[in-house]
Structure 1
Amino acid sequence: MKRAPLVPAQVEFSADGPPFAPAFGDVYHARDGALAQARHVFLGGNGLPARWQGRERFVVLETGFGLGNNFLATWDAWRQDPARCERLVFVSVEKHPLRPDDLARAHAASPLPELAAELLRRWPPLTPGLHTLDFEAGRVQLLLGLGDGRELLRELVLDADAVYLDGFSPKLNPELWDDWLLKSLSRHAVPGTTLATWSINRPMRRALAALGFEVALAPGFAEKPEMTTARFAPRHRPQRPVGREPLAPGARRAVIVGAGLAGAACALALSRAGVACTVVDALPGPAQASSGNPAGLFHGTVNPDDGPHARFNRAAALATQQVLAELGLPHQHGLLRLETRLQPAQMPAVPGYVQALCADDAAARAGAPLGHPAWLYAGGGALDPAAYTRALLAASGARLRLGTAVASLQATPGGWQLHGADGELIEAAPLLVLAGGHAQLPLLGALADDLVVQRGQLTHLAEAPWQPGVPVAGDGYAIADGRGGAWCGATAQDGDADPALREADQLENLARYARLAGLGTPPQAPLAGRVGWRLVAADRLPLIGGLAAGDAPAEQLRLQPRRPGLVVCTGFGSRGITWAALAGRLVAALALGSPRPLEAELLDAVDPLRFALRRQRRPAR
């Protein structure tokens, strides 16, 4: 589903009253104080903090993020509670998010200055879709859905423990209160889910009751004598999609096969979710296979339809941008992606994500007459994949077992066992993540048929006539090495197992480099570079998710039972740096059942079983 471009909120500030939204003719919160209202209506109305005490994870779902005061009040209550849940996940949707300057102004005199400053520091670029913001070393997570709540709520995959039904007045903003939206909300409720709102709108209360909520009135806040509370207690338990059930609920230990980018990112995300990880790899060190290239690019993509590829790559690139900032890993900032058919006026800039540059401006950034307009990805860039992998592993605290080849897997009542070639037990854990590259294909069974091993060769110019001011991609790519040289590439040959550097491939890479730089003749250089192998799916998206349980395939991915305790994270092609951070978060959510960091449509787009489903639906010839 294409996401419409975001329209940021228009906010009017005054010295003697709450911020005002002229588009809705309403204020953002009661005059008696946003935090006081949040604590009385939303926390008190949902029985918090008492209801989260002793829990491993507690999920709040909110309609209308607004200024973020409900989130800040909830985060503050969690911080102050010595019996708090281990992890708080706050999910909120917002159609008109604030620009960073307006958000800063709204919290200039915040009673919670430390928390407000953290929210401002992590505020994402205003792009449609889900944004995962980590606080408290991942123990507090804000999953912020930017876009039309009516669309996003139907695409969220989560079970909510508490619902904050917020938004402007039902008379002024009826779309956030009608039967359609409330039905979408109810799909995320489980027996015992509570709901609270300052409104006592009668149609809303009738709709909640019809959806299985027990609805009551409670003392209101400030000038409102009453408010609404509710508890989900349906007569019949709603059927849950079996394909969306957690793959390893309650797991506290995991073994990850693969010490490259994918495995390292999975280790970080799982460790932040409270899972102790062991990473196993056949090679003597991390990032020595596909993730061992000396330099690589990361960036999003743009297309007119804003289809699954663009949306997944955008979410992944922004996740990478966040993780790199958290790790403090040095890298080259900014990336130019040349587009021969691009007209700069076709897309307005999205600060912090992408902007269109004319050919002259792109050339000035690159330091060469590129000859084409380009997308400038401000948060993209280039880095050393091996350094990134090591930083992820170090931050995860994972135990490493290197130089250990896994020959077979065995499912057990308690999880999975890994065995070596002579049958010895290597590791066992309730959760197994297969996050390796082409060398891991024998462990994937029939899934390996949906992947292609692709050879790639990149070239190093020790003395480069052009060292791009920022990494440049288009027909090939070029990255300055910081020592007067450059990396350029890369070739792609399916099913080619030759490990030797080839002169023909070097000439191809140098020809691309010359075209990018606007050079009349490709430079000459001694044969130098690296050969690696990518694992690529036919649709150029990764494979992330569970494998089928049983022999009978389901007609929909969400209805397909999965093998318990097993998650696959592979097929990264040439986008390992861009995809790893988001993939790790997704693996953790799929395994443990926390709110998924992607919409349902994108979960299907990267599901490992998607190719089998397409073959099943294909008419017999």
Structure 2
Amino acid sequence: MTSTPLVPADIAFDADGTPSAPAFGDVYHARAGALAQAVHVFLGGNGLPARWQGRAQFVVLETGFGLGNNFLATWDAWRQDPARCERLVFASVEKHPLRPADLARAHEASALPELARQLVQRWPPLTPGLHELHFDGGRVTLLLGLGDARELLRQLVLQADAFYLDGFAPARNPELWDAYLFKSLARLAAPGATAATWSVARPVRDGLAAAGFDVARAPGFASKGQMCTARFAPRHTPQRPAGREPIAPGARRAVILGAGLAGAGCALALSRTGMACTVVDALPAPAQASSGNPAGLFHGTFNADDGLHARFNRAAALATQAELAALGVPHQHGLLRLETRLELGDMPTVPGYVQSLSAEDAGRRAGTPLRHPAWHYTGGGAVSPGAYVDAMLAASGAELRLSAAVEALRESPSGWQLLDSDGRVLDEAPLVVLAGGHGQLPLLGELAGALTVQRGQLTHLPQAPWQPALPVAGSGYAIADGHGGAWCGATAQDGDLDPSLRGADQEENLLRYAQLAGLSERPSAPLAGRVGWRLLAADRLPLIGGIAVPGPLAAQLRLQPRRGGLILCTSFASRGITWAALAGRVVAALALGSPHPLEAELLDAVDPLRFALRRQRRPGT
């Protein structure tokens, strides 16, 4: 998917407060009322709320988010319905999202002020891609795709039960109503899906019919005499790609191996689907191995072409920012990352996500003169990994089974069995998630060959000459410890399993600290710190996904069948804090087949089978 900078909506308000888009020469909603129109056209036209009643999950897909009134009306109807579905997912795309101030103004006189206030508060930075926003304790999810609808719909992984076809009039905004878009809707339609729109234009009716929908007319709203309703009834039932089938459909219990950041993120996300979770770890307490450092950074990344790494890290960082706030985990807000290649004029600012700063401005924020300009990740920062893990595990309600070493897995009729060194069954569940670090390599089979174990040593200065006011990263990083000292590091040695603190590594860390701080010489300090091991893949992305069934791989990852009930979530390198929340949500979606929080090509980018598929395509690589 091409990723171009978003162009926010230009919005105008007339004398009676009706918002319009001058660029399209059209109003955002009928003058008779946005919420009333949403209830009549979109909910009524899709048979809601009756169609979601008694269901575990119901998915709505909208083709133009606009001001968000259709979402608010649907959320309100769900709240008011005592027979509502357990979870409501509202997916929507928007090419020209509103700036936060415009969104707030548009909802100043909302008939649903509390819901509108929550939407404004959670409104994401205007960055391309999917943004997952949670409401009502996670039972209502807004999956908001910012960017071109034609590209985003091609990247969505979901099955929609109802479609809201909205947008400016077909004559003014034809790309939201053409045959290509309707074909995309057919690919995303669940069996028996319905659609509704206020438009009865001939191209709209013909496009829906060509895509496999039975189309009918119905009484319209206010001054519009008619509207369209439709039901998906294709001649041939489309087959879902094998690699997109749920890995553990209907599972109500999961066992997660690993009580670090990855495991805690999985437990939290799976528990929010209603699944009971047990977290198993060989160590006597959570967050003792790779997640055991006293402090760590979280932030996104930026590159000019906004490639896969930048997009994945941005989505993960935004998810972490929201999760830390939701859980109330104390953390340091804001992070500076030094830029040594680009000039300040070539460093863009994305409001709400990252701000480019001169060396002087960055130095004032850091509390020391800096030699380079810096990216200020306003939603990034530093946190204790252990505190974050504890908060996620507590919120998940997961059962903890510690000091329990799992030596092997065995498939069973009801799922997977976990075996100890004597072959005894420790536990059994329909879903098992492998979410540990390098200690779980023996369980990964051939997949382990794509991973590297990397040693890292962190240094503690009990009395630091510079205590960064904000965490600073560059060649190394520095984090104030809150007690007059600082943590700095970290080294990286592949394949080194030495657990002892080494003086040479400490000297390397202190030299990087001095360079970050602009000190003339490195400080001295007694040998102190921590050694840990990272598990990383060659492309520096995690492994999140299902395991292949035996046999040659399919030509595409999305076509590859997966073994039921087994998911991998590992290889977090040095980004465990940043990746944990999003990774857990991806695991939950993979397990149950719910709408995925990542675009399809990002799912492929973290798929555990990507390396094997590359080798199959290019033997000898």
TM norm structure 2: 0.99
Q: Is the 8 A contact 1:334 1:470 kept in 2?
A: yes
Matched, 1:247 2:247: yes
For the residues of structure 2 that align with 1:329 and 1:297, how far apart are their CA atoms?
14
Corresponding residue SS for 2:216: strand
Partner in structure 2 of residue 342 of structure 1: 342
**Alpha-carbon distance, 1:187 to partner:** 0.9
For the residues of structure 2 that align with 1:259 and 1:177, how far apart are their CA atoms?
48
For the residues of structure 1 that align with 2:376 and 2:236, how far apart are their CA atoms?
52
Partner in structure 1 of residue 308 of structure 2: 308
**Alpha-carbon distance, 1:552 to partner:** 1.9
Partner in structure 2 of residue 411 of structure 1: 411
Partner in structure 1 of residue 272 of structure 2: 272
Q: Is the 8 A contact 1:11 1:22 kept in 2?
A: yes
**Alpha-carbon distance, 1:17 to partner:** 4.6
> 1:41–1:257: structure 2 CA closer, same or farther, 3 Å change rule?
same
Partner in structure 1 of residue 108 of structure 2: 108
For the residues of structure 2 that align with 1:38 and 1:182, how far apart are their CA atoms?
21
For the residues of structure 1 that align with 2:620 and 2:263, how far apart are their CA atoms?
38
Corresponding residue SS for 1:326: helix
Corresponding residue SS for 2:444: helix
Partner in structure 2 of residue 528 of structure 1: 528
Q: Is the 8 A contact 1:550 1:561 kept in 2?
A: no
What letter matches 2:181 in structure 1?
L
What letter matches 1:146 in structure 2?
L
Matched, 1:72 2:72: yes
Q: Is the 8 A contact 1:336 1:375 kept in 2?
A: yes
**Alpha-carbon distance, 1:340 to partner:** 1.0
Trace 1:115-130 onto structure 2 (pairs within 5 A): 115-130=115-130
**Alpha-carbon distance, 1:446 to partner:** 0.9
Partner in structure 1 of residue 432 of structure 2: 432
**Alpha-carbon distance, 1:186 to partner:** 1.4
Q: What is the identity percentage for the equivalent residue pairs of Structure 1 and Structure 2?
A: 77
Partner in structure 1 of residue 548 of structure 2: 548
Partner in structure 2 of residue 25 of structure 1: 25
C-alpha RMSD over aligned residues:
0.9
Partner in structure 1 of residue 400 of structure 2: 400
For the residues of structure 1 that align with 2:101 and 2:535, how far apart are their CA atoms?
43
What letter matches 1:240 in structure 2?
R
Partner in structure 1 of residue 464 of structure 2: 464
For the residues of structure 1 that align with 2:614 and 2:459, how far apart are their CA atoms?
38
Partner in structure 2 of residue 42 of structure 1: 42
Partner in structure 2 of residue 446 of structure 1: 446
For the residues of structure 2 that align with 1:347 and 1:204, how far apart are their CA atoms?
43
Partner in structure 1 of residue 215 of structure 2: 215
**Alpha-carbon distance, 1:429 to partner:** 1.0
**Alpha-carbon distance, 1:620 to partner:** 5.4
For the residues of structure 1 that align with 2:8 and 2:552, how far apart are their CA atoms?
47
What letter matches 1:573 in structure 2?
A
**Alpha-carbon distance, 1:14 to partner:** 2.5
For the residues of structure 2 that align with 1:83 and 1:44, how far apart are their CA atoms?
17
What letter matches 2:210 in structure 1?
A
For the residues of structure 2 that align with 1:45 and 1:84, how far apart are their CA atoms?
18
Q: Is the 8 A contact 1:282 1:402 kept in 2?
A: yes
For the residues of structure 1 that align with 2:575 and 2:245, how far apart are their CA atoms?
28
Q: Is the 8 A contact 1:265 1:580 kept in 2?
A: yes
What letter matches 2:357 in structure 1?
L
Q: Is the 8 A contact 1:65 1:94 kept in 2?
A: yes
Partner in structure 2 of residue 593 of structure 1: 593
Matched, 1:166 2:166: yes
Corresponding residue SS for 1:130: strand
For the residues of structure 2 that align with 1:441 and 1:340, how far apart are their CA atoms?
36
**Alpha-carbon distance, 1:161 to partner:** 0.4
Alpha-carbon displacement from aligned partner over 1:103-123 (angstroms, at most 9, x marks no partner): 111111111111111111111
Structure 1 segments (4+ residues) deviating >6 Å: none
For the residues of structure 2 that align with 1:348 and 1:126, how far apart are their CA atoms?
13
**Alpha-carbon distance, 1:2 to partner:** 3.2
Partner in structure 2 of residue 477 of structure 1: 477
Corresponding residue SS for 1:37: helix
What letter matches 1:534 in structure 2?
R
Corresponding residue SS for 1:305: coil
Q: Is the 8 A contact 1:17 1:31 kept in 2?
A: no
Partner in structure 1 of residue 368 of structure 2: 368
Corresponding residue SS for 1:532: strand
**Alpha-carbon distance, 1:173 to partner:** 0.6
Corresponding residue SS for 1:187: helix
Partner in structure 2 of residue 260 of structure 1: 260
For the residues of structure 1 that align with 2:101 and 2:485, how far apart are their CA atoms?
40
What letter matches 1:208 in structure 2?
L
Partner in structure 1 of residue 573 of structure 2: 573
> 1:195–1:411: structure 2 CA closer, same or farther, 3 Å change rule?
same
What letter matches 1:342 in structure 2?
L
Alpha-carbon displacement from aligned partner over 1:143-176 (angstroms, at most 9, x marks no partner): 0001111110000011000000000000011110
Alpha-carbon displacement from aligned partner over 1:16-61 (angstroms, at most 9, x marks no partner): 1520111111000001100000000000000000000011000000
For the residues of structure 2 that align with 1:445 and 1:516, how far apart are their CA atoms?
41
What letter matches 1:453 in structure 2?
V
For the residues of structure 2 that align with 1:387 and 1:549, how far apart are their CA atoms?
38
Trace 1:75-90 onto structure 2 (pairs within 5 A): 75-90=75-90
Matched, 1:12 2:5: no
**Alpha-carbon distance, 1:395 to partner:** 0.6
What letter matches 2:505 in structure 1?
D
Partner in structure 2 of residue 181 of structure 1: 181
For the residues of structure 2 that align with 1:416 and 1:517, how far apart are their CA atoms?
51
For the residues of structure 1 that align with 2:551 and 2:17, how far apart are their CA atoms?
63
Alpha-carbon displacement from aligned partner over 1:235-284 (angstroms, at most 9, x marks no partner): 11112110011101111110000000000010010111111100000100
**Alpha-carbon distance, 1:191 to partner:** 2.5
What letter matches 2:583 in structure 1?
A
For the residues of structure 1 that align with 2:620 and 2:322, how far apart are their CA atoms?
46
For the residues of structure 2 that align with 1:620 and 1:343, how far apart are their CA atoms?
41
What letter matches 2:27 in structure 1?
V
Alpha-carbon displacement from aligned partner over 1:451-482 (angstroms, at most 9, x marks no partner): 11100000000000011110000000000111
Mean CA deviation greater in 133-142 or 178-187: 178-187
Alpha-carbon displacement from aligned partner over 1:473-502 (angstroms, at most 9, x marks no partner): 000000011111000000000111100000
**Alpha-carbon distance, 1:100 to partner:** 0.9
Q: Is the 8 A contact 1:243 1:558 kept in 2?
A: yes
Unpaired segments of 5 or more residues in structure 2? none
Alpha-carbon displacement from aligned partner over 1:371-414 (angstroms, at most 9, x marks no partner): 10010000000010010000000011111111111111111121
Alpha-carbon displacement from aligned partner over 1:408-432 (angstroms, at most 9, x marks no partner): 1111121111111122221111111
**Alpha-carbon distance, 1:367 to partner:** 1.2
Partner in structure 1 of residue 355 of structure 2: 355
Corresponding residue SS for 1:251: coil
**Alpha-carbon distance, 1:190 to partner:** 2.7
**Alpha-carbon distance, 1:295 to partner:** 0.5
For the residues of structure 2 that align with 1:174 and 1:402, how far apart are their CA atoms?
58
Corresponding residue SS for 2:614: helix
Alpha-carbon displacement from aligned partner over 1:68-115 (angstroms, at most 9, x marks no partner): 000000000000001100000000000111111111111111111111
Corresponding residue SS for 1:290: coil
Q: Is the 8 A contact 1:191 1:234 kept in 2?
A: no
TM norm structure 1: 0.99
Partner in structure 2 of residue 93 of structure 1: 93
What letter matches 2:57 in structure 1?
R
Q: Is the 8 A contact 1:342 1:374 kept in 2?
A: no
Partner in structure 2 of residue 195 of structure 1: 195
For the residues of structure 1 that align with 2:547 and 2:201, how far apart are their CA atoms?
45
Trace 1:377-392 onto structure 2 (pairs within 5 A): 377-392=377-392
What letter matches 1:430 in structure 2?
P
